[in-house]
Amino acid sequence: MAERTTVLRIKRQENPRSATYWEEFEIPYKANHNIISMLMEIRRNPVTREGKRTTAVVFDANCLEEVCGSCTMVINGRVRQACSQLAEGLNGTVTVEPMSKFPVVRDLWVDRSKMFDYLKKAHSWIPIDGTYDLGPGPRVNPQEQQFAYLFSRCMTCGCCLEACPQVNDHSKFMGPAIIGQVYLMGQHPTGAMHQDERLQALMGEGGIADCGNAQNCVEVCPKSIPLTTAIGDVGGQVSRKWLRDLFAK
Amino acid sequence: MPGHHIIIGGGLAGLTTAMKLAEEGEHVDLFSIVPVKRSHSVCAQGGINGAVNTKGEGDSPMIHFDDSIYGGDFLAHQPPVLGMCEAAPSIIYLFDRMGVMFNRTPEGLLDFRRFGGTKHHRTAFAGATTGQQLLYALDEQVRRYEAAGLVRKFEGWEMLGVVPDEAGDCRGVVAIDTRSLELRAFPGDTVMIATGGPGLIFGRSTQSLVNTGSAASACYQQGATYANGEFIQVHPTAVPGEDKNRLISESIRGEGGRVWTYKEGKPWYFLEEMYPAYGNLVPRDIATRAIHKVVFEMKLGVDGQPLVFLDVSHLDPVLLRQRVEGVLEIYEKFVGQDPTKVPMKIFPAMHYSMGGLWVDYSQQTNIPGLFAAGECEFQYHGANRLGANSLLSCVYGGDVGAKAMTAFAKSHKSDGSTRAHDLEVTRHREDFDRIFKMDGKENAFAIWRELGELMTENVTVVRYNDKLKATDAKLLELKDRWGKIGLNDKGKWANQEALFVRHLWNMLELARPITLGALNRNESRGAHYKPEFPERDDENFMKTTLATWSSDGPRFGWEPVDVSLIKPRARRYDVDKSATAAKPAEKAA
Ligand SMILES: Cc1cc2nc3c(=O)[nH]c(=O)nc-3n(C[C@H](O)[C@H](O)[C@H](O)COP(=O)(O)OP(=O)(O)OC[C@H]3O[C@@H](n4cnc5c(N)ncnc54)[C@H](O)[C@@H]3O)c2cc1C
Ligand code: SF4
Ligand code: SF4
Ligand code: FES
């Protein structure tokens, strides 16, 4: 019997402006292989299935335990982290592509800096008075902490943007992740004091009004962050602010 | 005029430094290979230590200090460790104020868990992703200063080396854009290295892929002293993998997890039997050696494999999910079994480097103007680090460093000359030109794998002098083979292979002080264990190893340890600490 293997069909691209092409690699099966460890096998011996010498596939990865968000790719049509996609459970040829909602740097590496820009735009931080010793922070209800904690695990991976139909070339929609973060900041007693600034950022172009409620985002979030709950809640906060602003005029 | 500072690395140490400098109105250029939010610090699961004493246990910074010095087997200089332990409660409060969702008690106060090497609940935690939460809080504060124009970020840029001027002071760095491969000098009044640990020298470790130790190695090759390199912490509980060994945090044992294997057909809880006073919560070096003994000497590994059980299946699954969900998830995702039902199978893995760039009490290296903080420096953990003390030392070191950097910039204004910078840029450009011409038969990634296997086998848990000598000889051979690498990828855009070839050279250089440091130290202390010299030898070896680079190998010197605050005593975990201490109460009476 032939040795079991995994075939990776990888979409490649030399640089942001060049054309894409596909290459296939065949890797001996190991139960604890994952997509990244298979890409590492390719680096050690960059030869395609047809026996052609090629360059190592370029990819983005760091933690290898699904906590840094780096290695997000589209695997068999589904966006997810490559490091936690085990070879076990994959059959036949596996297609691996870079995410489509972000510019490709090279091969599987994409540029997600726009997500960091959104965090800046939405003032996603707690404006403390200073880092000097001011004693303990505010008390927090343990139940509320448990719920807020869910949102604090967002690793800016971009899965939810990739899956959201409203994030596309024709729209400026910032996507669901930033809404989750604005929700989180508003849950903290100090953060809540400054929530208006953040809501303001979500009221303009590319803000929360662009969400079409397709709910794809919650389904793909690897950290199971209740994004639609945040979208609903922050949507309410935005409406209330809008009314308040109206009457304040 | 505000100073202009360069920080290399955006983990906990680098971001703390950036935040503290910006708060003083100083200007910062922050460099990181990966976007700072994806730095290795996100991996820390268990928590951060601080003697806040909310559990009525009578904990105090002094007890934390004693636990840390004792846990580090009396190799750490004591004054900075005391400073760190005293600052710890306020550091935890600061993170709480910055919005970290720490777990809470029913009263809404910070909750604390137990970690190894202590009897107190001293570890604050946010689920099992504490490092991630702390890093994000700092990332947010630094982004605030970025928006205010005080911090400029260079993400995707890699530092290649520092720029010393004629007087030998550090005047900036040379860095390369990992996308365009543009190579540039960046002048600065001071430079902070906060580039994390060197895990990749051991191939598969619990660390992240950027943790090659390359930046620290570059500084070492430019004259910075590397201290205590031989002290490498091997974590007792990790899941062996193809690409990395995934840590199963000590917090699992803190929550009541038990380590066992079968002996004569029955479960044997060997840590509890060997170390009744601390049981499963002995420090890491002790637990690691016990597992090694059970597996290799007694041949009692699970199914004859190098594995033992780490078991939480007797604990309440709901509570476990609340407190260590992130850890359980890692096991589930990467092994495919539910640890609340089936005991986990684990084995020790390289985890942390206690050694690193030598720094003084203000975090300055021996090169004026060059500072270091975080895992890449040597200062806080002696011969063995206690769990949850690293995040603390990163933040504390960053804070101390920032103060010293501000002061240094005031007194050492640069004259604006760029001669030294141009020279360094040329040197690095020539290096890359050579790399792009490499057309031998060797593959850089394959050599790296061999390096990792070599180091893991010979320079981790158990060390023998003959094997250490052979390892160093093999390292020279690998350096030779490095010259015979053939570069597959000659592209001038986002060429990860060419960049890795440089990392590999730096790893090979740094592997030598680690290996030879171990060879020189003929005693056993903390994580460093030699069966031929099983005892700690204070008379000859209570001193810091100092390695200096030279073209024919590392040169070694030593520095005495400052033990002015706690008198060294034997380190034992089979009995309570009180049994090992001189009894001050009796003496006073
Ligand atoms: C799995 C795991 C769990 C852990 N759990 C705990 C815990 O619970 N408690 C605890 O106290 N400690 C823990 N530790 C240890 C702790 O996480 C690390 O020691 C600490 O996070 C190191 O932080 P750092 O700031 O020094 O460096 P890192 O977080 O490693 O950051 C290094 C930075 O340097 C950058 N960099 C590196 N080289 C270059 C270069 N040449 N040019 C530019 N940038 C560069 C990187 O991009 C990165 O931004 C754990 C470690 C591991 C591996
Ligand atoms: S609910 Fe739908 S439209 Fe709205 S953010 Fe999620 S995926 Fe996009
Ligand atoms: S919300 Fe989820 S999917 Fe979106 S970026 Fe955060 S972790 Fe990724
Ligand atoms: S490498 Fe960090 S999420 Fe996969």
The answer, for A40 touching chain B at a CB cutoff of 8 Å, is: yes
Give, rounded to a whole angstrom, the gap between the first and last alpha carbons of chain A.
79
A24 and chain B in contact, CB less than 8 A:
no
Instruction: Reply yes or no on whether the pLDDT at B489 is more than 50.
Output: yes
Same domain, A31 and A50: yes
B576 contact partners, CB below 8 Å, separation of at least 6: B119, B277
Query: Which of B284, B521, B536, B571 is an active site residue?
Result: B284
Among A110, A130, A162, the domain-final residue is A110
Q: Does A114 touch chain B (CB under 8 A)?
A: no
| CATH code for the domain defined by B4-233+352-415 | 3.50.50.60
Q: Which of B223, B116, B525 is nearest to B354 (CA)?
A: B525
Report the pLDDT averaged over residues B199-208. 96
Q: How many residue pairs from chains A and B have C-beta atoms closer than 8 A?
A: 193
Domain boundaries, chain B: 4-233+352-415, 239-348, 422-556
Q: Across the interface, do A135 and B106 touch by the CB < 8 Å criterion?
A: no
A101 & A27 share domain: yes
The reply to whether A148 and A95 lie within a common domain is no
Q: Apex CA A213: angle with CA A211 and CA A215, to 5°?
A: 115
What part of B 4-43 touches A (C-beta under 8 Å)? 19-20, 23, 34-35, 37-40, 42-43
Closest partner CB to A137 (pick from B37, B43, B96)? B96
What's the gap in Å between A216 CA and the centre of ligand 2? 6
When scoring B33, B249, B333, B443 by the number of chain A Cβ atoms within 10 A, the one with the most, hence best to mutate, is: B333
**A45, A112, A125 member nearest B141 (Cβ):** A125
ipTM: 0.97
Inter-residue contact B349 to B247 (CB < 8 Å): yes
Residue numbers in B near A84 (CB within 8 A): 333-334
Contacts of A43 in chain B (CB under 8 A): 445, 497
pLDDT > 70? residue B10: yes
Report how many domains make up chain A.
Answer: 2
Residue nearest to atom 13 of ligand 1 (CA): B44
Which ligand is in closest contact with the Cα of A68?
4
Residue in chain B lying closest to A147 (CA): B101
Q: 3-class secondary structure for chain A?
A: CCCCEEEEEEEEECCCCCCEEEEEEEEECCCCCEHHHHHHHHHHCCECCCCCECCCCCCCCCCCCCCCCCCEEEECCEEEECCCCECCCCCCEEEEECCCCCCEEECCEECCHHHHHHHHHCCCCCCCCCCCCCCCCCCCCHHHHHHHHHHHCCCCCCHHHHHCCCCCCCCCCCCHHHHHHHHHHHHCHHHHCCHHHHHHHHHCCCCHHHCCCCCHHHHHCCCCCCHHHHHHHHHHHHHHHHHHHHHHC
> Is residue B388 within 6 Å of ligand 1 at its C-beta?
yes
The verdict on A150 touching B (C-beta cutoff 8 Å) is no
Q: What local confidence, expressed as pLDDT, does residue B17 receive?
A: 98
Q: For residue range A218-228, list pLDDT tens digits in order.
A: 999 999 999 99
CATH of the domain at A75: 3.10.20.30
Task: Say whether domain B239-348 belongs to CATH 3.40.50.300.
Answer: no
Q: Taking 50 as the threshold, does the pLDDT of residue B586 lie above it?
A: no
pLDDT digits (tens, 9 = 90+) for A68-88: 999 999 999 999 999 999 998
C-beta of B499 in contact with ligand 1 (< 6 A)? no
Same domain, A147 and A99: no
Same CATH fold assignment for domains B4-233+352-415 and B422-556: no
Residues of B within 8 A of A120 (CB-CB) are 143, 146-147
Q: How would CATH label the architecture of B422-556?
A: Up-down Bundle (1.20)
Residue B529 has pLDDT above 50, yes or no: yes
3-class state of residue B286 by DSSP = helix
| CB-based contacts of B264, cutoff 8 Å, min separation 6 | none
CB contact under 8 A, B488 and A55: yes
Q: What's the confidence (pLDDT) of residue B288?
A: 94
Instruction: Starting from the CA of residue A168, give the closest ligand.
Output: 2
Residues B72, B118: contact at Cβ < 8 Å? no
Identify the residue whose tokens are 């909750």. B111
B549 to chain A, any CB pair closer than 8 A? The answer is: no
Last residue of a domain, one of A110, A125, A153: A110
- CATH number of the domain where residue A123 is located: 1.10.1060.10
Residues of chain B neighbouring A44 (CB-CB closer than 8 A): 443, 445-446, 449
Whether B494 sits inside 8 A of A61 (CB atoms) is no
| pLDDT tens profile B87-97 | 999 999 999 99
Q: For this structure, is B284 an active site residue?
A: yes
> Hey, is the C-beta of A130 within 8 angstroms of any chain B C-beta?
yes
| Binding site membership of A229 for ligand 3 (Cβ less than 6 Å) | no
pLDDT bucket at A2, cuts 50 / 70 / 90: low
Which H or E run contains B586? helix B584-588
Whether residue A19 sits in one domain with residue A133: no
- Which of A18, A41, A64 to mutate: most B Cβ within 10 Å? A64
pLDDT band at residue B581, thresholds of 50, 70 and 90? low
Q: H/E/C letters for each residue in B476-523? A: HHHHHHHCCEECCCCCCCCCHHHHHHHHHHHHHHHHHHHHHHHHHCCC
B interface test, pick of A54, A134, A153 with most B CB neighbours within 10 Å: A153
Determine the Cα–Cα distance for residues B6 and B28; give it in Å rounded to an integer: 6
Nearest residue (by CA) to ligand 1, atom 50, is B44
Determine the average pLDDT of the residues in A114-130. Answer: 97
Verify that A106 and A158 share a domain, yes or no: no
Q: How far from chain centre, in Å, is Cα B378?
A: 9
Ligand 3: residue whose CA is nearest its atom 6: A154
- Of chain B, the percentage scoring pLDDT greater than 70 comes to 98
Q: What is the dihedral of CA B532, B535, B537, B542, to 10 degrees?
A: 100
> Measured between alpha carbons, how far is A41 from B267 in angstroms, rounded to an integer?
38
| CA dist., res. A77 & res. A97, Å (int) | 8
Burial zone of B442 (CB within 10 Å; 0-12 exposed, 13-18 middle, 19+ buried): middle
**A178 CA to middle of ligand 3, Å?**
9
Whether chain B has a CB inside 8 Å of the CB on A232: the answer is no
Q: Do A117 and A97 fall into the same domain? A: no
Residue A89 has pLDDT above 90, yes or no: no
Contact residues for B525 (Cβ-Cβ < 8 A; gap 6+): B73, B74, B75, B383, B536, B541
| DSSP SS3 for B49 | strand
In this predicted model, what pLDDT tens digit does every residue of B262-319 receive, in sequence order? 999 999 999 999 999 999 999 889 999 999 999 989 999 999 899 999 999 999 999 9
CB of B390 within 6 A of ligand 1: the answer is: yes
- Measured between beta carbons, which residues in chain A are less than 8 angstroms from residue B38? 62-63, 68-70, 155
B543 touches chain A (CB under 8 A): no
Average pLDDT rounded to a whole number, residues B190-218? 97
Judgement on whether residues A173 and A200 belong to the same structural domain of the protein: yes
Asked if residue A47 and residue A89 are part of one domain, the reply reads yes
Both tokens of residue B585?
A: 């109460």
Residue A50 lies in domain: 5-110
Chain B from 152 to 191: CB within 8 A of any A CB: 155, 179
- What does the pLDDT average to over A20-33? 94
User: Which domain-ending residue is among A110, A139, A157?
Assistant: A110
DSSP state of B155: E
